[in-house]
Amino acid sequence: MLLFTLGKDGKIELMINCPKIKDIKNKQVLVRVDFNVPLKLVAGKAGNKNAIWRVADSDRISSALETINFLLDNQAKVILISHLGRADGKKNHDLSLLPVAKFLKNNLDLPVEFVNDCVGVDVAEKARNLRSGQALLLENLRFYPGEEKNDPHFTKQLIKDSAAEIYINEAFSASHRAHASTVGLAKRLPSFAGFNLKREVELFSKALNDIKRPLVVVMGGAKISDKVATMQNLARLADVVLVGGGIANAMLRAGGIETHRSFIGADEEKETEEIGKILQTAKDILGEHALERVLFENVGKDRKNLPLPKIVLPIDVLAGVDANAKESEQIALLSDVVDTDNDRDIKYLDIGPETIRLYRYILQGAKTIVWNGPMGVFENPVFARGSREVARAIARASQNGAISLVGGGESNSVINRAGLYNQFTHVSSAGGAALEFLSGEKLPGIEVLEK
């Protein structure tokens, strides 16, 4: 894989498409970062103009720092752009990047000024007055619908107002989306890969080229429509797929198991088409691998040989009335006692203790582990155990020599809460993008850099 990148000496390597640009000094450099970080409310009320938010977790910021510091040290004029949350093309005070600008300035001591918009006269003025070795952070790109639509007008406006001469993508986690800030800009400006993006692409490519088996993929989380599609490819590549979280609910339901009011990826009433699509893909995956069995040898204390289905679904779950429930109920899913009470007002919110035990066994025998997505609503301590125990089991397998690639915003929070950050081969802040890349799909934001 050939990616344009920045040389450590400040010169730009592989200047195939931009012979005019020799280095970045005094250049206006637009950097797409992923500052889509979790925020916490510190004053006021969510939804109100007086609400004050603070950065709750800075992993994603850290992963862009090498590139940002490099550009500043080499006297570039840096303009940072990012999305935050699902703004859906509208301004939203709760999704402002202002708390990130404060974090960069106050906690990291970076010379960054915040601009209240990502296009417009204010941006144009501040961009033109920007001095070398200084940076701007522009407001959330997704306040404009043109960002997610990859609208050429929006792209051109971003370039014009920021007076950009060079584009750098340092948002691997957003590169599976063909948006204005990932693909649009890269097509119109001399474009380069940031250090972290390059590192992740190389690392994942290496893992893919020479897979140490068995490869166990662990999938959880809530972004089901994305993940279920990726799972189709990943399941072919993997020896075993362990499923948890919301995506397990979808797979269970597709397999004909009662899931009551569990979340399966979309609003049941409003998005029936989406639900139908998710269930169909889930059924296809189960059908494709229904007859495959994998033998795991010498697993667990009793050194059993376990014949397993390739797609392993939870055998029990913890259920509750909703995500904030103070109590949970353990429900066995594959018991002889048929659940006739099939319309209860409960949701499956974590994998159960039997499932934890099973997943632990399987993970012990893995040589490569790819994990994305929490096993349950870990934000609530009542439903945090599944994610924590799976994280621990993966960490233990890594200590015993397995390669472990872990990704995802919320998955990172699980790891941080469990104090396991340094226990894996690689922790990426990218979830969906990492899964897509590992499943062999081409990421539009990376492909465009290779041209």
Q: Which residues bind ligand ADP (CB under 6 A)?
A: 220-223, 245-246, 249, 263, 348-349, 372-374, 376-377, 379, 408-411, 431
Q: Indicate which single residue of 410, 429, 430, 438 sits in contact with Mg ion (rule: CB under 5 A).
A: 410
In order, the DSSP letters of 376-403 are S-TTSGGG-HHHHHHHHHHHHHHHTT-E
| Shortest distance (Å) from residue 222 CB to ligand ADP | 3
Of 353, 312, 352, give the one whose Cα is nearest residue 217.
312
Taking CB positions, which residue lies at the least distance from Mg ion? 409
Cβ-based nearer residue to Mg ion, 194 or 409: 409
Q: Mapping DSSP to helix (H, G, I), strand (E, B) and coil, where does residue 215 land? A: strand
| Shortest distance (Å) from residue 95 CB to Mg ion | 15
- Give the H or E element holding residue 184: none
Selection from Mg ion, ligand ADP, none that 246 binds (CB < 5 to 8 A by kind) is: ligand ADP
387 — phi, psi (to 5°)?
-65, -45
Q: Indicate which single residue of 244, 409, 432, 445 sits in contact with Mg ion (rule: CB under 5 A).
A: 409
390 and 356 in contact (C-beta within 8 Å)? yes
| Shortest distance (Å) from residue 431 CB to Mg ion | 6
β-sheet bridge partners, residue 241: 217, 311
Whole-angstrom CA distances from 230 to 126, 254, 394 are 41, 17, 21
> Any contact of residue 226 with Mg ion (CB under 5 A)?
no
Q: Position of tokens 């300035």?
A: 105
Cβ-based nearer residue to ligand ADP, 182 or 249: 249
Cβ-based nearer residue to Mg ion, 239 or 410: 410
Non-local (6+) Cβ contacts of 102 within 8 A are 54, 55, 114
Sign of CA dihedral 431, 432, 435, 440: negative
Cβ-based nearer residue to ligand ADP, 193 or 346: 346
| Shortest distance (Å) from residue 298 CB to ligand ADP | 31
Could you say which residues in the range 304-363 bind Mg ion, by CB under 5 A?
A: none
> Any contact of residue 245 with Mg ion (CB under 5 A)?
no
Q: Which residues of the chain form contacts with Mg ion (CB under 5 A)?
A: 409-410
